[in-house]
C-alpha cells in the first residue's frame, strides 16, 4: 500500500482561530518485540519522530515509541495568526522521511 | 459501455422502421459490440484452493457444503435411554461455556450463571429456569443430541449426531441444565441480550482518516495505468473510469452465458484483464481486491440493482435462494438460519443482521484483520465458522449465492469500501 500521508485541517480560518489538525501516516509500526515464523525477532521499524511546523516555526512535535499502534494518528490544535503553510514530517527508523504540506489562508 | 448500449438501442430503433429482417442483424451487431472481452478458459483463483493459513484447519468433508450434499440424515426417532442420566453438572457447566466446541451454548442461550452470564446470546430461549420445567432426561438428552427429532425447523446444531459432543458430555450438560432454577443475574446491563443495544456503524466509509480501506484506491489508480503483457492497460480503453463505471458495480453480479455462471466484480476483473491487458489478477489477491474496491467506489451512492430478467438469470437466482437455505457444515446452519430466522438477535456478543445490509459495503476493510475482504472471502469465512469446507472464490455456487444476496440488497446504495470489525 502506498504510504500517502493523510491530512485534515481547514484551508481557511479567521485570525486568532484555534484550528484542529488531524494527521495519519499508513505505517506498520513494527515494534521489534514480535517474533516471526522462524522464531527470530522481527526487527523494529517504527516512525520515531513526528514534527509539525507552520511557516518554519515549530507547532507540535512527538517522539514515538514502539508501543504506538500501526498507522500513527495525531490530532492536535494550533492557533493561527497569519496565512501560511503547515509542514508535516514523519521520520522512520530506517531514515526515510515522509513529508506533507498544506496551506491555510487566514483572514 | 453504457454509452455503447444507448447508441445500439437507438440504431435498432431506426432499423425497425426500415424493415424487419434487418433487426436481428443489427441486434447481433449491437450485442457483439457490448460484450466485454473475457478469458473464458481456466480458473479465476488459485487451484487447488488452499484455506488461509490463519483460519482453523478441520476436516469437515463429511458435511454439506454449497457444492455437495453429504451430511448424515436427521434421525427420525429420539434415542431411548437405558436409565436415568448420571452426569456431572460441574463438567456440564464448563462444556456449555466452552467456545472451542462449536461456539458454546451461551452463544445462543442465557443459562443462569454459566459463563459468568457474560454476554450470552438470545437466538434460542433463555434456559435459566429450565430445571423447573420437569422435562424428562430423554427429552433433554435428545434436544441436545439432535433437536431435529422434536422440531424440524430448528436452527440448533445437532451436537450429538454431528459428533461435536459425545454421549457422556451430553449427559453432563443435561445434569447441569437440571440445576438451573433461577433467573440469570447479569453483572452489567450489556450482559442481558434483551437489553443490549443493537450496534450502530457510524464510521464514514469514504473518509481516509477513518477507513484505511480508502488507501487502496491509490494503488488501484496505479494499476489502472500499468501495462500488462499485451502492452495495454485498463486506461487504454477506459480513459475516464469515473464516467464509464458510474453505475457498473451496482449492477453486478451478472449472469454470464459465455461462462455459464454468475460473475461478480472480482471474477470479472480477473477474466477481463486476462483477455485485454494480459494481467492475471487472480481472485482474492491484493491487486484484484484493490481494483474491486475502486470499481465499487466509482459506483458510490448508486442503488444496487441486479438483472434477473433472463430465464438463465432467474434460474441462477432460484439456485442461489436454495443455497442460502441449505444446511451446511458440522453446525448445520443455513445462511438464512442466522441472517433470516434469527436476524436481529445476538449470537454471543455478535449481532446478526438480516441478508439486506450484508452486501452494500463489500469489499470492506476489516479492522480486526487489517486487510480488505471481498464478498467471496466473507462467504468463505462464514462457512469455515460454521465448520463447513469453503469453496474456491470463483465457484459457480458462490456466483448464484451472490446474485441472490445482491437481489435481497436491491435498492441499498453502494458505499465501498466499508469498514467493519
Q: Are strands A47-54 and B261-263 parallel, antiparallel or unpaired?
A: unpaired
pLDDT for the residue A91 = 96
pLDDT for the residue B291 = 97
- Which residues in chain B are closer than 8 Å to A73, comparing Cβ atoms? 209
Reported as a pLDDT band with limits 50, 70 and 90, residue B116 is confident
Percent of chain B with pLDDT over 70: 92
| Average pLDDT, integer, range A56-79 | 94
pLDDT for the residue B393 = 97
Task: Give the side-chain half-sphere CA count within 13 A for B64.
Answer: 19
Q: Is the pLDDT of residue B9 over 50?
A: no
Query: Nearest CA to CA, how far is B366 from chain A (Å)?
Result: 14
Please judge whether A70 and B370 are an interchain contact, meaning their C-beta atoms are less than 8 angstroms apart: yes
Residue A45 three-state SS: strand
Please judge whether B216 and A1 are an interchain contact, meaning their C-beta atoms are less than 8 angstroms apart: yes
Query: Nearest CA to CA, how far is A36 from chain B (Å)?
Result: 14
Q: Suggest the residue from B206, B215, B370 to mutate for an interface test with chain A (most A CBs closer than 10 A).
A: B215
Q: Is the pLDDT of residue B32 over 60?
A: no
Q: Are strands A97-106 and B254-256 parallel, antiparallel or unpaired?
A: unpaired
> Which residues are CB-neighbours of B195 under 8 A, at least 6 positions away?
B189
Please judge whether B370 and A1 are an interchain contact, meaning their C-beta atoms are less than 8 angstroms apart: no
How many angstroms separate the most distant Cα atoms in chain B? Answer: 88
Mean pLDDT of chain B: 91
- Which residues in chain A are closer than 8 Å to B222, comparing Cβ atoms? 2
In degrees, rounded to 5, the angle at the alpha carbon of residue B219 between the alpha carbons of residues B213 and B224 is 125
Alpha-carbon distance of A58 to A51, in angstroms, equals 8
Q: Which residue has the higher pLDDT, B81 or B22?
A: B81
| Average pLDDT, integer, range A64-80 | 94
What are B9's three cell numbers?
A: 438501442
Please judge whether B209 and A22 are an interchain contact, meaning their C-beta atoms are less than 8 angstroms apart: yes
Query: Nearest CA to CA, how far is A55 from chain B (Å)?
Result: 25
| Average pLDDT, integer, range A12-38 | 93
pLDDT for the residue B28 = 46
Reported as a pLDDT band with limits 50, 70 and 90, residue B366 is very high
pLDDT for the residue A1 = 37
Of the listed ranges B116-125, B372-381, B402-411, the one predicted with least confidence: B116-125
Please judge whether B208 and A6 are an interchain contact, meaning their C-beta atoms are less than 8 angstroms apart: yes
Q: Is the pLDDT of residue B6 over 80?
A: no
- Which residues in chain A are closer than 8 Å to B219, comparing Cβ atoms? 1-2
Residue A84 three-state SS: strand
On whether the CB atoms of residues B63 and B330 are closer than 8 A, the answer is: yes
- Which residues in chain A are closer than 8 Å to B212, comparing Cβ atoms? 26, 71
Q: Which residue has the higher pLDDT, B78 or B17?
A: B78
Among left, alpha and beta (phi > 0; psi -120 to 50; other), residue A74 is beta
Please judge whether B218 and A2 are an interchain contact, meaning their C-beta atoms are less than 8 angstroms apart: yes
- Which residues in chain B are closer than 8 Å to A71, comparing Cβ atoms? 212
pLDDT for the residue B117 = 81
- Which residues in chain B are closer than 8 Å to A8, comparing Cβ atoms? 209
Query: Nearest CA to CA, how far is A81 from chain B (Å)?
Result: 26
> Between A and B, how many residue pairs show a Cβ–Cβ distance under 8 A?
21
Among A1, A8, A24, select the one facing B219 at the smallest CB separation: A1
- Which residues in chain B are closer than 8 Å to A1, comparing Cβ atoms? 215-216, 218-219
Q: Let me know if B362 is exposed, middle or buried by CB neighbors in 10 A (0-12, 13-18, 19+).
A: buried
Please judge whether A6 and B209 are an interchain contact, meaning their C-beta atoms are less than 8 angstroms apart: yes
Alpha-carbon distance of B294 to B287, in angstroms, equals 11
Please judge whether B216 and A8 are an interchain contact, meaning their C-beta atoms are less than 8 angstroms apart: no
Task: Give the side-chain half-sphere CA count within 13 A for B68.
Answer: 11
Among A2, A6, A73, select the one facing B219 at the smallest CB separation: A2
Query: Nearest CA to CA, how far is B349 from chain A (Å)?
Result: 25
| Average pLDDT, integer, range A46-60 | 96
Percent of chain B with pLDDT over 90: 84
Neighbours of B8 (CB within 10 A): 18
- Which residues in chain A are closer than 8 Å to B372, comparing Cβ atoms? none
- List, in sequence order, every beta strand (DSSP E) within chain A: 6-8, 12-13, 18-24, 47-54, 57-63, 73-79, 84-92, 97-106
Residue A52 three-state SS: strand
pLDDT tens-digit map of B258-291? 999 999 999 999 999 999 999 999 999 999 999 9
Please judge whether A24 and B209 are an interchain contact, meaning their C-beta atoms are less than 8 angstroms apart: yes
pLDDT for the residue B33 = 56
| Average pLDDT, integer, range B57-83 | 94
The whole-model pTM stands at: 0.86
Q: Are strands B418-420 and B364-366 parallel, antiparallel or unpaired?
A: parallel
Reported as a pLDDT band with limits 50, 70 and 90, residue B15 is very low
Among A2, A4, A8, select the one facing B209 at the smallest CB separation: A8
Q: Let me know if B267 is exposed, middle or buried by CB neighbors in 10 A (0-12, 13-18, 19+).
A: buried
pLDDT tens-digit map of B238-263? 999 999 999 999 999 999 999 999 99
Query: Nearest CA to CA, how far is B216 from chain A (Å)?
Result: 6
pLDDT tens-digit map of B129-159? 999 999 999 999 999 999 999 999 999 999 9
| Average pLDDT, integer, range A63-75 | 93
pLDDT for the residue B7 = 42
Amino acid at each position: 500500500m502506498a504510504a500517502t500521508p493523510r491530512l485534515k485541517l481547514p484551508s481557511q480560518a479567521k485570525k486568532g482561530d484555534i484550528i484542529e489538525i488531524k494527521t495519519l501516516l499508513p505505517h506498520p509500526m513494527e515494534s521489534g518485540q514480535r517474533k516471526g515464523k522462524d522464531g527470530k525477532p522481527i526487527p523494529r521499524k517504527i516512525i520515531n519522530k513526528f514534527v509539525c511546523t507552520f511557516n518554519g516555526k515549530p507547532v507540535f512535535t512527538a517522539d514515538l515509541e514502539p508501543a504506538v499502534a500501526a498507522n500513527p494518528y495525531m490530532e492536535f490544535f494550533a492557533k493561527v495568526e497569519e496565512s501560511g503553510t503547515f509542514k508535516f514530517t514523519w521520520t522512520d527508523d530506517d531514515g526515510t522521511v515522509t513529508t506533507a504540506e498544506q496551506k491555510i489562508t487566514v483572514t | 459501455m453504457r454509452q455503447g448500449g444507448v447508441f445500439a438501442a437507438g440504431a435498432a430503433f431506426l432499423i425497425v422502421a426500415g424493415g424487419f429482417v434487418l433487426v436481428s442483424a443489427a441486434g447481433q451487431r449491437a450485442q457483439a459490440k457490448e460484450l466485454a472481452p473475457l478469458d473464458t478458459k481456466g480458473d479465476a483463483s488459485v487451484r487447488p484452493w488452499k484455506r488461509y493459513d490463519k483460519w482453523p484447519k478441520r476436516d469437515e468433508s463429511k458435511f454439506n457444503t454449497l457444492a455437495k450434499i453429504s451430511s448424515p440424515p436427521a434421525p427420525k426417532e429420539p434415542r431411548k435411554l437405558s436409565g436415568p442420566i448420571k452426569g456431572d453438572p460441574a463438567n456440564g457447566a464448563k462444556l456449555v461455556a466452552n467456545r472451542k466446541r462449536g461456539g458454546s451454548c451461551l452463544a445462543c442461550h442465557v443459562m443462569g450463571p454459566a459463563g459468568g452470564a457474560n454476554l450470552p446470546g438470545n437466538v434460542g430461549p433463555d434456559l435459566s429456569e429450565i430445571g423447573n420445567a420437569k422435562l424428562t432426561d430423554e427429552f433433554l438428552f435428545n434436544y441436545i443430541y439432535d433437536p431435529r427429532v422434536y422440531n424440524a425447523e430448528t436452527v440448533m446444531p445437532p451436537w450429538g449426531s454431528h459428533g461435536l459432543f459425545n454421549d457422556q458430555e451430553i449427559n453432563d450438560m443435561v445434569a447441569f441444565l437440571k440445576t438451573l432454577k433461577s433467573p440469570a443475574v447479569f453483572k452489567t446491563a450489556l450482559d442481558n441480550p434483551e437489553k443490549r443495544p443493537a450496534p450502530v456503524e457510524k464510521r464514514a466509509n469514504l473518509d481516509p482518516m477513518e477507513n484505511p480501506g480508502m488507501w487502496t484506491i491509490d494503488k488501484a489508480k496505479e494499476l489502472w495505468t500499468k501495462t500488462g503483457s499485451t502492452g495495454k492497460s485498463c486506461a487504454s480503453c477506459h480513459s475516464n473510469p469515473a464516467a464509464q463505471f458510474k453505475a457498473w458495480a451496482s449492477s453486478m453480479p451478472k449472469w454470464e452465458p459465455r461462462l455459464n455462471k454468475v460473475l461478480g466484480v472480482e471474477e470479472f476483473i480477473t477474466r477481463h484483464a486476462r483477455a485485454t491487458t494480459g494481467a492475471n489478477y487472480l481472485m482474492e489477491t491484493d491487486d484484484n481486491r484493490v481494483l474491486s474496491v475502486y470499481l465499487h467506489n466509482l459506483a458510490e451512492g448508486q442503488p444496487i440493482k441486479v438483472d434477473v430478467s433472463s430465464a438463465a438469470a432467474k434460474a441462477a437466482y432460484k439456485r442461489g435462494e436454495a443455497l442460502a437455505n441449505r444446511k451446511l457444515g458440522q453446525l448445520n446452519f443455513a445462511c438464512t438460519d442466522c441472517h433470516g430466522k434469527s436476524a436481529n438477535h445476538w449470537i454471543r456478543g455478535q449481532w446478526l443482521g438480516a441478508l439486506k445490509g450484508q452486501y452494500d459495503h463489500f469489499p470492506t476493510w476489516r479492522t480486526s484483520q487489517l486487510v480488505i475482504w471481498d464478498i467471496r472471502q466473507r462467504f468463505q469465512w462464514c462457512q469455515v465458522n460454521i465448520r463447513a469446507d469453503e469453496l474456491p472464490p470463483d465457484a459457480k455456487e458462490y456466483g448464484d449465492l451472490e446474485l441472490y444476496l445482491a437481489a435481497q440488497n436491491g435498492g441499498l446504495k453502494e458505499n465501498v469500501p466499508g469498514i467493519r470489525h
